[in-house]
Amino acid sequence: MTSSTSRRRLAGKCYCGAVQYDVADEFVYALNCHCSDCRRTTGSAFKPFAGIERHKFCVVAGEDARLIYGDEMTHDAHCARCGSLLYSVVREGHWVHVTMGTLLDDPSIRPTAHMFVGSKAPWYEITDNLPQHRGHVGAG
């Protein structure tokens, strides 16, 4: 195995198109996060995101057009022009959480659970049958 050319790649971009990324269709997990940070950064009831090792993700356009909120190891990356939250760098810089709403292509993975349901918006009712975790997945 010398390259990833045979593997499926997914494209994604912000609202205005200034920032574009490319990611392998090899997400390890996908979740809907209802924590107040995710609600605020997306302006939505919750944030569907998919996690992948950082080296399988790359910004292909608009690297300079990003607004990085946080530090080198842990941050949210927005488009500085339109504000879209594209991804977060997490877990000591080794993983990327891609906001699934910014994907252009359909990933193989689907969100498998709701997390931080303990702090979800009171005006939003979860109507699917996915497992609900009060905090982090695995923490009950």
Amino acid letter, 66: R
Q: Provide the binding-site residues for Zn ion, judged by CB under 5 A.
A: 14, 16, 18, 33, 35, 38, 79, 81-82
56 versus 97: smaller Cβ distance to Zn ion: 97
35 versus 98: smaller Cβ distance to Zn ion: 35
Min dist CB 81 to Zn ion, Å, is 5
Instruction: Give the 3-state DSSP-derived string for 61-104, with helices as H, strands as E and coil as C.
Output: ECHHHEEEEECCCCEEEEECCCCCEEEEEECCCCEEEEEHHHEC
Amino acid letter, 39: R
15 versus 25: smaller Cβ distance to Zn ion: 15
Residues 67, 76 contacting (CB under 8 angstroms):
no
Min dist CB 11 to Zn ion, Å, is 14
Min dist CB 40 to Zn ion, Å, is 9
